[in-house]
Amino acid sequence: MNLDTVVAIDFHTHAEEPCCGPRDDGYDDFQAAMAKYFRNPAGADGMLPAVQDTATYYRERNIAAVIFPVDAERETGFRRYSNEEVAKLCAENDDILIPFASIDPHKGKMGAREARRLVREFGVKGFKFHPTMQGFFPNDRMAYDLYEAIADEGAISLFHTGQTGVGSGMRGGMGMRQKYSNPLYVEDVAVDFPDMPIVLAHPSFPWTEEGLMVATHKPNVYIDMSGWAPKYFPPIFVQYANTILKKKMLFGSDWPAITPDRWLSEFEQLEMRDEVRPLILKENARRILGM
């Protein structure tokens, strides 16, 4: 990957379709609800983009993409996608895709072993956590074996924060509890693993100011700006991105729920300083990825 030539790095994209085999039962209803929430036709009818489709899409736009599955089979009942398979597809498209993985922290020491192996043998650069989908508070000590492995291997931890479209509008919200995704719980992780890069995904609504506070106070905490169309960003979120957090904000779309075409078009309309835009679109991500 030549990061000198790509125009941006999208720090938040999903490997939504299984790499092999059919979807699990119930997944169609889940994705249809997600499509309705994001007003996105993707997922409402038929399959979402596979990893190879994602690579083609991003290659056409000369945008690098961090991509990951989400291991939430314990809470959702949906079989997780293979981290190894996603990493192999990234290796086949390493001019444009950057591999992250996902491990439910409830897997304990077995999950920690998997994390070390994924970094060492597959070049995985980070791990996605979704506290609401995985049903845990980020500062729960049961997750610390996994965090320790990630920190030891020099990888990144990426946490969903704030409101989620997962289960929105479905009966009982599909059992998802949004309380787990307050960024204040991630602050404890930043304290206990001060050398591990941590990314708070999304503007953390309705805890936007808490997320900004944590990122301002903890040197190892960053924010990716995914999951929201930029025209809906709270003013304080834009203010911090433009000033004291300009070196800690990362472009992210939440593909395929939000496309980079839409995100970048709306980002262009924000009142951002000229010197800040390249930091958010590429340079900050390049630094945290060590690339």
- pLDDT for residue 24: 63
Count the Cβ atoms, other than its own, within 10 Å of residue 20.
Answer: 8
At 174 the pLDDT is: 73
Q: Is residue 1 part of a domain?
A: no
- What is the domain range of residue 70? 8-289
Q: Is residue 134 part of a domain?
A: yes
Q: How many domains does the chain have?
A: 1
> Which 3-state string (H, E, C) describes the chain?
CCCCCCCEEEEEEECCCCCCCCCCCCHHHHHHHHHHHHCCCCCCCCCCCCHHHHHHHHHHHCEEEEEECCCCHHHHCCCCCCHHHHHHHHHHCCCCEEEEECCCHHHHHHHHHHHHHHHHHHCCCEEEECHHHHCCCCCCHHHHHHHHHHHHCCCEEEEECCCCCCCCCCHHHHHCCHHHHCCHHHHHHHHHCCCCCEEEECCCCCCHHHHHHHHHHCCCEEEECCCCCHHHCCHHHHHHHHCCCCCCEECCCCECCCCHHHHHHHHHHCCCCCCCHHHHHHHHHHHHHCC
- pLDDT value at residue 187: 98
Provide the pLDDT for residue 164: 80
The verdict on residue 153 lying in a domain is yes
Whether residue 280 is contained in a domain is answered as yes
The structure tokens listed for 49 are 């983009």
In a domain, 228, yes or no: yes
Q: Determine, yes or no, domain membership for 129.
A: yes
In this prediction, residue 81 carries a pLDDT of 84
Q: Is 2 contained in some domain?
A: no
| Residue 137, domain CATH | 3.20.20.140
pLDDT mean values, one per 10 residues, the chain (291 residues): 93 78 61 63 61 95 96 85 94 97 97 98 98 96 98 98 79 83 98 98 97 98 97 97 98 94 96 97 97 88
Euclidean distance between CA atoms 96 and 66, whole angstroms: 9
Residue 132 resides in a domain: yes
Q: For residue 213, how many other CB atoms are within 10 A of its CB?
A: 17
Give dist(CA 29, CA 158) in Å, integer. 26
